[in-house]
């Protein structure tokens, strides 16, 4: 079932693995490969022990506009069936929810910026969240999300006023987790995202660019600390450390 290597799926040229994620990979000495699926075919899953799917502009049902979504969904199913670990951020979370039978669609309001999310009792008991506080700061960049109720066999691990499913898991399989938030990105990433996706981010979100850019560095220490702990947990669950 592959070696100690992670496949990272990237949807957009400007939205790659965030600096918090790259730091966690380096500190744990975990090797990885990146599939830039907007212009590359997905590689064979065979060399990889785990899969991380990042966020991006597509919606889960836009297979006509983004044809790679169909084989990507197939690979996510293969990852789960094979017992490999899976971690999805934002769109990666939504794709996981979709293939597991959840309804995914527009939320009442676009969520861009920083908010506080809460671990549910299931989240507090989940191995991936061990050592994290019940309330954690979240970096948000999305307009769609998973919509409850979730199918039997799944569990909501975190929620917030902005999204009823901030984190999703499979009961009895802690190796598979979806996160609606993008805590893998640091303040420098956040500024880059705003520069590239400004029109989308500012439309209907209530975000004030200057306030967003000044807040991001202030949020970074807490987000980095909780994300580092989370990724350490995930690497252990995945058998990568």
pLDDT tens, 76-118? 999 999 999 999 999 999 999 999 999 999 999 999 999 999 9
Where exactly are the structural domains of the chain? 5-238
Q: What is the pLDDT of residue 200?
A: 95
Extract the residue ranges of the chain whose pLDDT is less than 70: 1-3
CATH class of 5-238: alpha beta
| Cis, bond preceding 85 (omega within 30 deg of 0) | no
Q: What is the pLDDT of residue 1?
A: 54
Q: Give the distance from CA 158 to its chain's centroid.
A: 13
DSSP one-letter string for 121-144: HHHHHSGGGTT--SEEEEEEEEEE
Q: What is the pLDDT of residue 37?
A: 97
pLDDT tens, 200-213? 999 999 999 999 99
CA distance 234 to 97: 18
pTM of the model: 0.97
Q: Give the distance from CA 163 to its chain's centroid.
A: 14
Give the number of other CB atoms < 10 A from CB of residue 217.
13
Which residues neighbour 33 within 8 Å (Cβ) at sequence distance 6 or greater?
A: 5, 6, 7, 8, 43, 47, 48
Q: Quick one: how many helices (H) and strands (E) in the chain? A: 7, 9
């Amino acid at each position: 079932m592959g070696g100690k290597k992670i496949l990272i799926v990237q949807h957009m040229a400007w939205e790659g693995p965030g600096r918090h994620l790259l730091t966690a990979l380096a500190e744990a000495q975990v090797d990885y490969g990146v599939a830039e699926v907007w212009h590359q075919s997905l590689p064979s899953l065979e060399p990889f022990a785990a899969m991380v799917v990042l966020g991006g502009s597509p919606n889960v049902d836009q297979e006509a506009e983004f044809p790679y979504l169909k084989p990507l969904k197939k690979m996510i199913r293969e990852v789960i069936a094979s017992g490999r670990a899976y971690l999805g951020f934002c769109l990666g979370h939504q794709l996981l929810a979709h293939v597991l039978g959840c309804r995914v669609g527009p939320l009442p309001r676009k969520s861009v910026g920083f908010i506080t999310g809460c671990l549910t009792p299931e989240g507090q008991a989940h191995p991936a969240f061990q050592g994290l506080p019940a309330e954690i700061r979240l970096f948000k960049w999305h307009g769609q999300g998973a919509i409850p109720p979730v199918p039997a066999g799944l569990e909501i691990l975190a929620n917030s006023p902005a999204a009823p499913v901030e984190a999703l898991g499979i009961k009895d399989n802690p190796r598979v987790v979806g996160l609606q938030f993008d805590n893998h990105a640091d303040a420098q990433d956040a500024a880059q995202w705003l520069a590239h996706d400004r029109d989308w981010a500012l439309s209907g979100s209530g975000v004030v660019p200057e306030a967003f850019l000044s807040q991001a560095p202030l949020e970074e220490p807490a987000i980095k600390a909780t994300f580092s702990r989370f990724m350490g947990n995930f690497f252990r669950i995945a058998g990568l450390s």
